[in-house]
Structure 1
Amino acid sequence: MTSVHTPPERQKTHDIVFHVLPTDQAVQAARLLGRIPGVVVQPHESERRVTVHYDVLEHTLLELETWLQSGGFHLDGSILQKIKRALIHYTEDVQRDNTQIPEHPTKSREVFVKAWEHHLHGDHDDTPEELRRYL
């Protein structure tokens, strides 16, 4: 699979489902995809699909599917599979884009607590404690 040091949120596992014809696409696709560094493939011939494992910063499902289609493979064109693929493509694009955003340093909670203690705010009551009990 992917590297032991790859964070879990970057490790992806997805199925690529093929059209019913030709019948041996899953096995052939597994052979081709298995040659790509960083991609681990598990064929499921009877179900017309392969399961792929990869690091999203190295590969995307769209990239793998495009590579297969350019090699003559035919993906399942059902509406359910199209929706699943589109959702995965979108989330992987967003995840990759988010890795390009630099982290902003944030102040710890203690800094805000200290600032709040020194700030005049509506919680301040000048009434002595002993008078508060009788009111």
Structure 2
Amino acid sequence: MKRPAGTARKVAPIRKERSILFAKFPPDQVPEAAACLGQIEQLEVERRDQARAVGVAYDLHQHSLEELESTLEDKGYHLDNTLMSKMMRALIYYVEETQLHNLDAPVRPMKRSQSEAYTHAWERHPHGDHDDTPPEWREYK
């Protein structure tokens, strides 16, 4: 996932708190995964053994859920693959990617007034009773 380029201005952190759910089998993945994620800098990790989950808190400028989950999958951990988990995961991936994209988007200057843009478009567009038909054809009987 592309991170926004560093700028001269100070950016506020975008803190995210997520749960990474694991499959029932193989058992005892949570302690090992929490230890694995605990080695990553700027990442807060909390074990939730009863829920078969690991809670993570991070700044979106530094990490994303997609990045963390793909790291775990690459190391052989099995994430929960129920339909609801897949849908929530896809939604979170999309939201985080969109937020990162919007951080990188340039600021667009607005016109002095919103109606000014429409006024110029209206002047250039044929409108009203404009008819290209010659007058003698319009009165043909």
CA RMSD between the two structures = 1.9
Among candidates 7, 14, 26, match of residue 12 of structure 2: 7
Q: What is the Cα deviation at residue 99 of structure 1? A: 0.7
Listed one character per residue, the Cα deviations across residues 28-60 of structure 1 (whole Å, up to 9, x for unaligned) are 111111111111110101210011101111111
Q: Any unmatched runs of 5+ in structure 2?
A: 1-9, 117-141
For this pair of structures, how many residues does the alignment match? 105
Residue 36 of structure 1 is matched in structure 2 by 40
How do 1:101-116 and structure 2 match up within 5 A? 101-106=105-110, 112=113
- Residues in 1 aligned to 2:84 and 2:77: alpha-carbon distance in whole angstroms: 19
Q: What is the Cα deviation at residue 7 of structure 1? A: 3.2
Listed one character per residue, the Cα deviations across residues 84-121 of structure 1 (whole Å, up to 9, x for unaligned) are 000000000000001111223447xxx65xx9xxxxxx
Residue 83 of structure 1 is matched in structure 2 by 87
Which structure ranks higher in relative contact order (CA pairs < 8 Å, sequence separation ≥ 6)? 2
Q: Could you tell me the TM-score, scaled by structure 1's length?
A: 0.71
Q: Any unmatched runs of 5+ in structure 1?
A: 116-135
Q: Could you tell me the TM-score, scaled by structure 2's length?
A: 0.68
Larger helix fraction of residues: 1
Q: Classify 1:42/1:98 alpha carbon distance in 2 versus 1 (closer, same or farther; 3 Å).
A: same
- Which runs of structure 1 show a deviation greater than 4 angstroms over 4 or more consecutive aligned residues? none
How do 1:27-106 and structure 2 match up within 5 A? 27-106=31-110
CA contact (8 A) 1:14 1:52 kept: yes
